[in-house]
């Protein structure tokens, strides 16, 4: 089974400034990935994202399960939030994590990040609809797993890229008759965020 991973992010535009609110992370061994979203005031996004990404990377590289990876990221985020308490800032993050293991995608989500599967032209949400708590204030995260098959495409991202326009864009990207690659999927979805200046991040896993 051939796995093609790609992740990227673009900044939001806030009062004329470009600031990253989202981050995509792909493990060095190309077997796992995460998308992270910062909440709170823009001045805190960079610092809190750095803390969350450090935790997520440590979990991904250690080949921990999805729940353990989220727990590590949550600990880093809570620590960062405590360091910002003088500013009255409480950080809440959203995360979607996918780990490929033994031909399955193992998923965990928290907050307003989502995971979707495209299989044969049909789109299905893989993330639980009950995962509404943010990373910094949740202690258990819904997890799921999906047996992968050739032709499957798994996409992680914040909820706003999976609106009606985003799903339609995804359908066009995946069913143009050309061979699908993860980079093209991510680039297409982020083009919508760029036009709307909302910022965003996405990870795609294409199974060959």
Placement of tokens 């910022």 in the chain? 199
Task: Give per-residue pLDDT as tens, 166-182.
Answer: 888 888 888 766 678 99
pLDDT tens per residue across span 28-41: 888 899 999 987 78
Round to whole Å and give the CA distance between 129 and 112: 10
Tell whether the torsion through CA atoms of 54, 55, 58 and 61 is positive or negative. negative
Q: In a 3-state reduction of DSSP, which class is residue 43? A: helix
CA distance 194 to 167: 16
User: For the whole model, what pTM was predicted?
Assistant: 0.89
Separation CA 90–CA 83 (nearest Å) = 10
Give yes or no for residue 90 having a pLDDT over 60: no
pLDDT tens, position by position, 93-124: 788 889 888 899 988 888 888 999 999 888 89
């Amino acid at each position: 089974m051939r796995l093609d991973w790609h992740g990227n992010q673009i900044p939001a535009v806030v009062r004329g400034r470009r600031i990253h609110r989202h981050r995509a992370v792909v493990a060095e061994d190309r077997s796992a990935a995460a998308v992270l979203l910062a909440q709170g005031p823009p001045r805190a996004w960079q610092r809190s994202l750095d803390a969350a990404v450090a935790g997520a990377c440590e979990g991904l590289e250690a080949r921990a399960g999805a729940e353990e990876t989220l727990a590590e990221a949550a600990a880093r985020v809570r620590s960062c939030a405590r360091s910002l308490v003088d500013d009255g800032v409480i950080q809440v993050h959203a995360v979607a994590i996918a780990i490929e293991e033994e031909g399955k995608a193992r998923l965990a989500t928290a907050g307003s990040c989502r995971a979707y599967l495209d299989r044969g032209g049909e789109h299905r949400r893989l993330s639980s609809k009950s995962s509404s708590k943010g990373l910094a204030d949740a202690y258990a995260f819904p997890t799921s797993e999906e047996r992968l098959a050739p032709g499957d495409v798994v996409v992680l991202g914040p909820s706003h890229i999976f609106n009606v326009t985003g799903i339609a864009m995804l359908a066009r990207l995946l069913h143009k008759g050309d061979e699908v690659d993860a980079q093209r999927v991510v680039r297409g979805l982020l083009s919508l965020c760029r036009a709307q200046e909302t910022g965003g991040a996405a990870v795609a896993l294409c199974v060959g």
